[in-house]
Amino acid sequence: MEKNVMQQVFQYKVDAEGIATFTIDYPGKSMNVIDQAFIDGLNDCIRRAVADAQVIGAIITSAKDAFVAGADLLTMEANLDAGADDSVAIAFEKYASLSAVYRRLETCGKPIVAAINGVAMGGGFELCLACHHRVMSDASGVVVGLPEVQVGLLPGAGGTQRLPRMLGVLAALPWLLEGKTATAAKALEAGLVNAVAAPERLLATARQWLLDQPHSTQAWDQKGFKIPGGNPLDPRVAPGFVVGNTMIVAATQGNLPAPLAIQSCVYEGCLLPIDKGLRIESKYLLAVATLSPVSRSMIRTLFINKSRAEKGLHRPAAIAAFKCSKLGMVGAGMMGGGIALNAAQRGIDVVLIDRDQEAAMRGYGYAEKALAKQVQRGRLAQDKMDAILKRITPTTDYLLLRDAELVVEAVFEDRAVKAEVTRRLDAVLSPDCVLATNTSTLPISLLAQASIRPERFIGLHFFSPADRMPLVEVIRGQQTSDQTLARALDFVAQLKKTPIVVNDARGFFTSRFIGAFIDDAISMVAEGISPPLIDNCARQAGMPVGPLAITDELSIELSVHAGQSQAKEFGADYRPGRSVPVLQKLYALGRMGKKVGQGFYDYTDSGKRVWPGLALLFPPREAQPAPHDLKQRILYVQAIEAARAFAEGVLLAPADGDLGAILGVGFPAYTGGPFCYIDGIGLTAFVNEADRLADLFGEHLRPNELLREMAASGQTFYGPKAGPVPVP
Ligand code: NAD
């Protein structure tokens, strides 16, 4: 049975002219992926083609829309657990097995041509690189590329060795390091493929090559082969590695092992014969996959859990699929304009409402400007832009919402203003219409009190800029019905965004999570920690922008006003953050942030410098903390906040926290999110380090009971030792 399934991954056939075709058609899957069955199937095809004297060469193609999507990351993640006890020698052979079969293919003695009929990514494209010739379909949407670096891996099936030998070292490096994809025209121009054909001519073009001018020895297997442009020691090439290393460290702060490993594969491997180079590549692949938690964490969150979320992880089953054809968008400000544009781009008609026509037009103007930029850059045709804009109706007329299927409210963050809008909406909306609020902090159940239909009320928290940010945090209020949740999730899918689902609480998950970071970082100023040290350590830990710089950017005034409105809203329940005294002092001095040129920094035409007066307000400590301790504090304070949100039932699953943290609020991707980060360190080590940081910096870094219990009982958030997910 096993054998049968394995063979079915490839269909093998030979025609009258002796041309074999290996057709990849993974049974029971919509996409071809690479796993052991794939490797065995390919091995089998090679063996048969070599053994049959009638066969003059072979075409490799796919029966599915895509050629091969890449390694099966799901299996790969599972294998990491299964192979945890493998010796290094056994693990090495496992990681080298795909590369070995590709090498067998290119040295089998018969010419092999890849007919790339659809998307060929990662190991799928590396299969094409191992063929002696590549013909690519020019159908729209067909791209090739090596995106492994994006999940913390490296092209480990020959990509780092064959591409430099084909294109030259310096031309190959960007394809390996950036994970960019290429259309047929680009791939031909760059030399990634040898020929391009219309889809209906693809197989004929491939066979013609086999009949006319086949060869079965790669250039690098011929005597006297020299890498085009020189090997890595060549004076034209060597400086590229020096610059490359510097650029990688600057871009990744040394947090991502894969880009440096890719450079090492190319540097070391290209000084040696290809067989040795391939072994070096396998060695680095094994290292990035198993020695650090980075690739496993990135695969888990950015691939596995992201696609689960998009496929409806938390969508209540048995509720009919919903498609929104008319959206109401109330509030045409920064968020409303972005959401309206996003919906119109997905073919949804949008009624965009604001207090007056001028304000509504501002939201429309946002969409117009964003689209015009795309047209200018040649990424969008003018007629498409016109069609998108035609779907947006800026108005003040609520009656136009009578047949809307879903409404998003994004007016001022003020409970009274939102309640007034809710009442106006309830008066016109159909009973079936979902009413979503884009509030970033106010509890949904509280806002729902203004509605006559709280079961239809839900939170859809978009991130700015709303037309581009990939995440929507879906917040279920106490009375939100299953049907409302299902519809909201279907709408998010229609927008092609990734949803997480959380329970209602102050700050939900994302605002609370980023809030813990910013609050702690600003309070460091009051502790006398040097401001540049705070911002630099945050960036070195992998945060996209320093917390003081981002507070200036968003405006200190806004932070102070948000605190004041929370105090008003929650009365005795309001607990001011430790950052409040710092922010209030700056506010009182008129230092409102970047928009007035003064905040934590002074802003001039030549750039920004820390405001010297800060040191007088908050005298610096004599002994500054070690950068390592500060970086730990910055990451730990967020991870601990995530663990608290999980323990309190705000998060339904660790995956929601990890996705929300990375896709929504910029927690570093190399960690895989706060829960992958804790698992990667190990619960016991994490708890011990958190205790050390709490002794050093304060009780807010003390781990909660959940973390202590998990450490004591040997549990993890993910993997075989994960405990049952608590159902809040
Ligand atoms: P904004 O000030 O840019 O836009 C608010 C718009 O609402 C304005 O155009 C205003 O004229 C309009 N408005 C006010 N009262 C109204 C009423 N009674 N009827 C109709 N329109 C009215 O604000 P924004 O940044 O777009 O934020 C809007 C909402 O989205 C807030 O709840 C905010 O917390 C939330 N949010 C903002 C961000 C962000 O980064 N800006 C991110 C997530 C969520």
Q: Using one digit for the tens of pLDDT, what is the confidence trace for 539-580?
A: 999 999 999 999 999 999 989 998 888 888 888 888 889 999
66 three-state secondary structure: coil
Q: Which tens digits make up the pLDDT trace of 123-141?
A: 999 999 999 999 999 999 9
Domain boundary among 459, 476, 507: 507
Please give the pLDDT value at position 573.
83
Residue 185 Cα, ligand 1 centroid: separation in angstroms? 44
Query: What pLDDT shows up at residue 725?
Result: 52
Which residue puts its alpha carbon closest to atom 42 of ligand 1? 463
- 487 has a pLDDT exceeding 90: yes
Nearest CA, atom 28, ligand 1: 410
- The amino acid present at 177, given as its one-letter code, is L
* Same domain assignment for residues 146 and 59: yes
Asked if pLDDT for residue 3 goes beyond 80, the answer is no
For residue 71, what pLDDT band results from cuts at 50, 70 and 90? confident
Placement of tokens 């980075």 in the chain = 294
pLDDT at 1: 38
Domain end: 473, 507, 541, which one?
A: 507
For the CA of 441, the closest atom of ligand 1 is 34
3-state secondary structure 237-281: CHHHHHHHHHHHHHHHCCCCHHHHHHHHHHHHHCCCCHHHHHHHH
Q: Nearest residue CA, atom 25 of ligand 1?
A: 334
Average pLDDT of the chain to the nearest whole number:
95
Q: Is residue 306 part of a domain?
A: no
**Ligand 1 atom nearest 331 alpha carbon:** 7
> Is 400 within the bounds of a domain?
yes
Task: Give the model's confidence band at 263: pLDDT under 50 very low, under 70 low, under 90 confident, else very high.
Answer: very high
Per-residue pLDDT at 728 exceeds 60: no
Q: Is residue 724 part of a domain?
A: no
* For the CA of 409, the nearest atom of ligand 1: 29
Mean pLDDT for the stretch of residues 44-58: 97
CA of residue 208 to ligand 1 center, whole Å: 62
Q: Report yes or no on 316 lying in a domain.
A: no
**Residue 132 and residue 100 share a domain:** yes
In whole angstroms, what is the distance from residue 692 CA to residue 695 CA? 5
For residue 716, which of 607, 643, 631 has the smallest C-alpha distance? 643
Give the model's confidence band at 724: pLDDT under 50 very low, under 70 low, under 90 confident, else very high.
Answer: low
pLDDT tens sequence across 291-347 = 889 999 999 999 999 999 999 999 999 999 999 999 999 999 999 999 999 999 999
Assign 70 a pLDDT band (cuts: 50, 70, 90). Answer: confident
Q: Stretch 2-16: mean pLDDT, rounded?
A: 75
Q: Are residues 253 and 267 in the same domain?
A: yes
CA of 552 to the centre of ligand 1 (A): 20
Residue 371 included in any domain: yes
E strands within 63-111?
A: none
Q: Residue 336 CA: which ligand 1 atom is closest? A: 26
pLDDT-wise least confident of 77-81, 452-456, 582-586: 77-81
**Confidence band for 374, pLDDT divided at 50, 70 and 90:** very high
Find out whether 73 and 299 touch, Cβ atoms under 8 Å. yes
pLDDT at 73: 84
pLDDT, position 74: 82
Residue 726, pLDDT above cutoff 60: no
Distance in angstroms (rounded) separating the CA atoms of residues 576 and 373 = 42
* pLDDT at residue 4, as a whole number: 47
Are 238 and 365 part of one and the same domain?
no
Nearest atom in ligand 1 to 337's CA: 26
What distances in angstroms separate CA 519 from CA 134, 388, 643, one per listed residue?
55, 40, 17
SS3 (DSSP) at 682: coil
Q: Is the dihedral of CA 708, 712, 713, 719 positive or negative?
A: positive
Q: Are residues 271 and 413 in the same domain?
A: no
In the reported structure, the alpha carbon of residue 420 is separated from the centroid of ligand 1 by a whole-number distance in angstroms of 14
CB atoms within 10 A of CB 584: 16
The pick from 330, 351, 355 for probing ligand 1's pocket by mutation, whose C-beta has the most ligand atoms within 8 angstroms, reads 355
pLDDT tens for each residue of 137-168: 999 999 999 999 999 999 999 999 999 999 99
pLDDT band for 703, please (50, 70, 90 cuts). very high
* Domain identity same for 498 and 587: no
Number of folded domains that form the chain: 4
Q: If pLDDT is split at 50, 70 and 90, which confidence band does 76 have?
A: confident
Cα(413) to ligand 1 centroid in Å equals: 6
- From 546, 527, 522, select the one nearest 535 (Cα to Cα): 546
Q: Is 561 a catalytic residue?
A: no
Question: Which residue, of 482, 507, 532, is where some domain finishes?
Answer: 507
The answer, yes or no, to whether residue 56 has pLDDT greater than 80, is: yes
CA–centroid distance, residue 217 to ligand 1 (Å): 64
Mutate to test the pocket of ligand 1, among 428, 440, 512, 565 (most ligand atoms within 8 A of CB): 440
Which residue's alpha carbon is at the smallest distance from atom 39 of ligand 1? 464
Regarding whether 526 and 460 lie in a shared domain, the answer is: no
**Two tokens at 43?**
């091995």
Q: Please give all residues whose beta carbon lies within 6 A of any atom in ligand 1, as ranges.
A: 330-336, 353-355, 359, 410-413, 417, 420-421, 438-440, 461-464
In a domain, 166, yes or no: yes
Residue 84, pLDDT score: 78
Number of neighbouring beta carbons within 10 Å of residue 72? 21
Once rounded to an integer, what is the mean pLDDT over residues 97-124?
A: 97
- Rounded to whole angstroms, the Cα distance separating 482 from 416 reads 27
Residue recorded with tokens 């075709």: 21
Q: Are residues 368 and 463 in the same domain?
A: yes
Helices 674-681 and 683-697 meet at what angle, rounded to 10?
100
CA of 439 to the centre of ligand 1 (A): 9
Residue 548's pLDDT is 98
Residue 429: CATH number of its domain: 3.40.50.720
In this model, does residue 584 exceed pLDDT 90?
Answer: yes
Kindly state whether residues 534 and 496 are assigned to the same domain: no
CA-nearest residue, atom 40 of ligand 1: 464
pLDDT category of residue 78 using cuts at 50, 70 and 90: confident
CA 604 / ligand 1 centre spacing (Å): 30
Strands 498-503, 601-604: pairing kind = unpaired
Ligand 1: which of 395, 408, 409, 411 to mutate, most ligand atoms within 8 Å of CB?
411
Both 286 and 367 in a single domain?
no
Active site residue: 461, 561, 628, 700, which one?
461
Say whether pLDDT at 104 is over 80: yes
Q: pLDDT band for 678, please (50, 70, 90 cuts).
A: very high
> Closest ligand 1 atom, CA of 335?
26
Measuring from atom 14 of ligand 1, which residue has the nearest CA? Answer: 411
- Residue whose CB lies within 8 A of the most ligand 1 atoms, among 357, 408, 438, 508, for a mutation test: 438
User: pLDDT band at residue 72, thresholds of 50, 70 and 90?
Assistant: confident
pTM of this structure: 0.93
Lowest-confidence segment of 6-10, 118-122, 592-596 by average pLDDT: 6-10
Residues 185 and 56 in one domain: yes
CA 104 – ligand 1 centroid, Å: 61
CATH number for the domain including 697? Answer: 1.10.1040.50
In which domain, by residue range, is 637 found? 628-713
Per-residue pLDDT, 721: 81
5 pLDDT tier (thresholds 50, 70, 90) = very low
Q: Say if 304 falls within a structural domain.
A: no
